[in-house]
Amino acid sequence: MVKKQEIQLFEEKKVRSVWDTETEQWYFSVVDVVGVLTDSKNPTDYIKKMKKRDAALAEGWGQFVTPLSVQTAGGRQRVNCATQAGIFRIIQSIPSPKAEPFKMWMAQVASQRLDQMQDPELSIEQAMADYKRLGYSDKWINARLKGIEVRKELTDEWERAGIQQGQQFASLTDIITKEWSGMTTRQYKQHKGLKKESLRDNMTNVELALNMLAEASTTEISREKNPKGFAQSAQVAKEGGSVAKAARKQLESKTGKSAISTEKASNYLLPPEEKE
C-alpha cells in the first residue's frame, strides 16, 4: 500500500485521511470521524462505549478498522482508520443528525480525489478554495501554493539523493529552518504559540518568502553538488538555509525589525464579516 496522508475538512473540523494509491480509496481516522459526528470531548471513550452497546460492531471491528501510521501531536503513531464502507458501518451506531451529510461529504471527497488524479490542476483549485474558506488573502494563498511547489521539488531531490521520508526529511527541514530563522521547527512553532497547527499555514507573507528561498536554494545547490546520503545532504541544507539567512539579515537591516513574526494565522485572517 502506497499511502499519502492529508487533512480533510468537514464543517471546518479536521479529519485525518490516508489515500491508498493501490486500491484508490481513502482511509479515514475513526477517532476524528466520531469526534466530528458526536462533538464528544473524548471520542476515544465514546468509541469504547459504542462497541459495548453494539456487540456486532465490536465483533467485526478488526475486519473494517485498520491501524495506519498517522501524524499526531506526539509524532507519527498508528491510528485506527477505516475505508468509506467501514465508516458507514460505524456511523450506523452513532445517532447523529450529521450522519447523512457526512456520508455525502465522504463520497464527494472520494470523487474529488479521483478527478484530481486525472487533472492535477484540480488539486490546486481545491487548496485555493479551502484556504479562501478559512479566510486567507489571495496574496497569501498564492505564496503558500508556490511554497508547496518549491517544497515538492526539494523532497524529490532528497529522494534522488537517497534520503528516507519521515525522520530524515524532518531533520533536514530542521537544519534549513534553523539556518535561516535561527530556530528549529519546534522552537519556531513555540515562538508563534502553535501546538498542533501547521507552521507554514501560520507564516506571514515575508516568512513564506524566506522559507521558499531557503528550500529553493537548497534544491538548486543539491542539483549542482549531487550529494549522496544524509550527511552530504545535511551540509547542502545548511548552505541553502544560509542564502535565506543573508536575505533575512539584509531585510531586517533595512526595516529595523525582525522578519520572524510571533503572529499566527488567527492574527491576520480576515474576520468573518469580511469573508462574505
197-248 per-position pLDDT tens digit:
789 889 999 999 999 999 999 999 999 999 999 999 999 999 999 999 999 9
Separation CA 151–CA 160 (nearest Å): 14
Distance of CA 232 to the CA centre of its chain: 27
The whole-number pLDDT of residue 273 equals 45
What is the band of 189 on the pLDDT scale with cuts at 50, 70, 90?
Answer: very high
The whole-number pLDDT of residue 111 equals 56
> What sections of 119-228 are H helices per DSSP?
121-134, 138-160, 167-181, 185-192, 205-225
The whole-number pLDDT of residue 2 equals 43
The whole-number pLDDT of residue 149 equals 87
Q: Inter-axis angle of helices 167-181 and 185-192, to 10 degrees?
A: 60
Burial (CB count <10 Å: 0-12, 13-18, 19+), residue 49: exposed
What is the band of 3 on the pLDDT scale with cuts at 50, 70, 90?
Answer: low
Q: What is the mean pLDDT of residues 18-32?
A: 79
High-pLDDT (> 70) share of the chain, %:
84
End-to-end alpha carbon distance in the chain: 42
What is the band of 69 on the pLDDT scale with cuts at 50, 70, 90?
Answer: confident
Pairing of strands 66-72, 25-29: unpaired
Tell me which of 260 and 12 has the higher pLDDT: 260
Would you say residue 272 has pLDDT above 50?
Answer: no
Residue-level length of the chain: 276
What is the band of 126 on the pLDDT scale with cuts at 50, 70, 90?
Answer: low
Q: What is the mean pLDDT of residues 39-65?
A: 91
The per-residue pLDDT of the chain, averaged, comes to 84
Separation CA 73–CA 170 (nearest Å): 15
